[in-house]
Amino acid sequence: MKHDVKVIKHPLVDCHLTTLRDKATSGAGFRQAVKMLSTLLAYEATANLKTTVRPVETPIVTCDGHDLNRRVGLVPILRAGVAMVEPMLDLIPTSEVWHLGMYRDEATAQPVHYYSKLPEDSPVDVAFVLDPMLATGGSALMAIDSIKKWGVTEIKMLSIIASPEGIARLQNECPEVQVHTCVVDQRLNEDHFIVPGLGDAGDRIFNTIG
């Protein structure tokens, strides 16, 4: 695996991933596990965020404190990416949230772009693309393309589960984008679903299965 793909290795990640994979997990349980894993992904993906130092008065003495000095943008891909927003906002309350709407055409597996809230100027300093699933990589690439056109130069992709095919595509087509994921699964099947995978994250998050 190339250095620009970070896969979290942690026993708690393994346990929460098992909750996501289990088809018996309820919608509530699925959403909770997505939150936990998003927080862990965010912790890793924000490790190089720059801060400025300022004095802070504790009840005892004055010491160095830190403020985030970068404009952070969260770009969730509708629908499933929405579930990753709250845990990121909890960590970085000043983040701006810019939604992108995309779905995969069932027949072609090509992404269809149906909504964009991205502005035309004033790009953020760093953008985090949020989507629990990176399958063919088509949706992520389309999102990254829009964010680049906005003018953002530092983009990170956060997915909970990824396929080798999706990772390879991002590495080939936008190697400057760092990918953070909890696991790289075995493969895509003939329907372009991740195997073993977790099904359709959007449906499971929003109770729209069947």
Q: Which residues of this chain interact with ligand PRP, rule CB under 6 A?
A: 77-80, 102-104, 109, 111, 131-140, 166, 192, 200-202
Rounded least distance, CB 47 to ligand PRP, Å: 25
Q: What residue is closest to ligand PRP based on CB?
A: 202
Given the residues 18, 51, 108, 208, select the one marked as catalytic. Answer: 108
d(CA 158, CA 83): 12
Q: Active-site residue 22, yes or no?
A: no
Nearer to ligand PRP, 73 or 111 (CB): 111
Q: Active-site residue 54, yes or no?
A: no
Q: Active-site residue 104, yes or no?
A: yes
Rounded least distance, CB 141 to ligand PRP, Å: 8
CA proximity to 163, closest of 136, 144, 143: 136
d(CA 186, CA 105): 23
In degrees, rounded to 5, the angle at the alpha carbon of residue 163 between the alpha carbons of residues 157 and 166 is: 55
Nearer to ligand PRP, 40 or 77 (CB): 77
Nearer to ligand PRP, 95 or 139 (CB): 139
Rounded least distance, CB 83 to ligand PRP, Å: 10
Rounded least distance, CB 139 to ligand PRP, Å: 3
Q: How many residues does the chain have?
A: 210
Name, in order, each residue with C-beta under 8 angstroms of 148's C-beta and a sequence gap of 6 or more: 155
Name, in order, each residue with C-beta under 8 angstroms of 51's C-beta and a sequence gap of 6 or more: 66, 67, 68, 69
Q: Active-site residue 191, yes or no?
A: no
Given the residues 104, 131, 181, 185, select the one marked as catalytic. Answer: 104
Nearer to ligand PRP, 79 or 180 (CB): 79
CA proximity to 21, closest of 210, 191, 186: 186
- Burial category of 11 from C-beta neighbours within 10 Å (exposed 0-12, middle 13-18, buried 19 and up): exposed
Given the residues 21, 31, 39, 203, select the one marked as catalytic. Answer: 203
Catalytically annotated residues: 104, 108, 200, 203
